[in-house]
Amino acid sequence: MAEVLAVLSVETRLRILALLSHQDLCVGALARRLGLTQGAVSQHLKILRDAGLLRAQRIGYHVHYRVHSVGLLAVSRRVANWLDAIGQEATSRPAVASRIEEACGSEERKTPCARRAQRTAARRTSL
């Protein structure tokens, strides 16, 4: 999942997907519309192709790219399933706040970071 999210975490790649969702474009056309070099666009296209989000088709001297809807749908389902799993896991565990209270509730069981925060607050009030 981290690999998929890393691919989609770059704004330029999202812009490329948005442009290609409307029409097929070659590297040169994408570079002009994005204000980037063809080399930079090519690198992003390779990453998107390797992730299964784009398809390429050679037409004459140019390679035209388009969004691979099946690949994009698969990624969408993976992300949705992952989010559902996280939601189910969160509802099956006690709330984070109650776990913190249990761990740090009594003075003798306070964590080092809680004791440090308490000392810092005490110093600020004494100044």
pLDDT number for residue 121: 61
pLDDT number for residue 2: 85
CB atoms within 10 A of CB 38: 14
Class of domain 2-71: mainly alpha
What span, in angstroms and rounded, lies between the C-alpha atoms of 27 and 22? 15
What span, in angstroms and rounded, lies between the C-alpha atoms of 80 and 78? 5
pLDDT number for residue 113: 67
Instruction: Give the closest residue to 7 by CA, choosing from 53, 41, 40.
Output: 53
pTM over 0.75: no
pLDDT number for residue 122: 64
Domain ranges of the chain: 2-71, 95-127
Instruction: Output the tens digit of pLDDT for each of the chain's 127 residues.
Output: 788 889 999 999 999 999 999 999 999 999 999 999 999 999 999 999 999 999 999 999 999 999 999 998 998 898 899 888 888 776 666 555 455 555 555 555 556 666 666 666 666 555 5
What span, in angstroms and rounded, lies between the C-alpha atoms of 4 and 102? 37
Contact 113, 119 (CB under 8 A): no
